[in-house]
Amino acid sequence: MTAPDTGAPTIKLDAVSLLWHASAPIRLTVLLLLIAGVGVWLIAVLKFLQTARVRASHRAFERASEGVPGGQELYAVAVSHRHSPGGRIVMTLASRAQGASVDRLRAIADRALVDERARATTLMSTLGSIAAASPFIGLFGTVYGIMDAFVRIGQEKSASLPVVAPAIGEALITTAIGLAAAIPAVIFYNAIDKRVSHLMEEIEASAGEWILLFAPRHGDVAVPLTRPISFPPPGGGAAYGGGT
């Protein structure tokens, strides 16, 4: 006794064939997930290179500024390391140091640290969004594939494997691709966030010493610099931005 001909096209149960014959919503879902997956690796490479470069530039500034006796000498070192985060913070402090109290300089340093943290976390929100959204995008493909399987059962009036297997296969593939994009995104996000946090902790620890060099205290009164200096505005390119 031969099996009834369901009229369904013969589709090999491999990923390429299933996606080639998949419906438009499944193809769009897979395309979005593939773009997200490529974006995860691209962002991860850029951020690892970026954090390594910034850490090296900051430590070079730390070595150059070690043992400087005052704010004037520290500013001179910062000018030659203006692309490092520490150099930018010191130049910001120097531009506002005249007559400023320790508390005011600390507030200025805190604001500069916020700017540096914003630069250091560029693209991190994108990486986090991919990590959070990819499983749900894959779940959409899963739900649509299961719905398609039920529609085929109704049309063919048969629940045989050749009828439902393609739709179920499409659903499982979208789930797998969603997880393949989300899992590396979570791992990279945590690793990069840890590197950025350690870098910012180093900068914050050094900022207290920089503040005291620009505003040494005598009792409760901040002592100004030994002579007035015309400081240029903080300059230099952003060592963080864009991950390039």
* Segment 60-87, tens digit of pLDDT: 998 988 888 888 888 889 888 888 998 9
Would you call 169 exposed, middle or buried from its count of C-beta atoms within 10 A (0-12, 13-18, 19+)?
Answer: buried
Average pLDDT of the residues in 206-229 = 58
C-alpha to C-alpha distance for 193 and 107, rounded to whole angstroms: 25
When comparing pLDDT for 63 and 155, which is higher?
Answer: 63
Sign of CA dihedral 59, 60, 63, 65: negative
Sign of CA dihedral 220, 97, 89, 229: negative
Q: Which of 213, 204, 244, 203 is nearest to 81 (CA)?
A: 203
Highest mean pLDDT pick, 132-146, 147-161, 214-228 = 132-146
Q: Which of 138, 171, 112 is nearest to 36 (CA)?
A: 138
212 within 8 A of 102, measured Cβ to Cβ: yes
Average pLDDT of the residues in 216-223 = 42
pLDDT digits (tens, 9 = 90+) for 40-53: 999 999 999 999 99
Phi, psi of 217 (to 5 degrees): -100, 140
Phi, psi of 74 (to 5 degrees): -65, -40
pLDDT of res. 144:
81
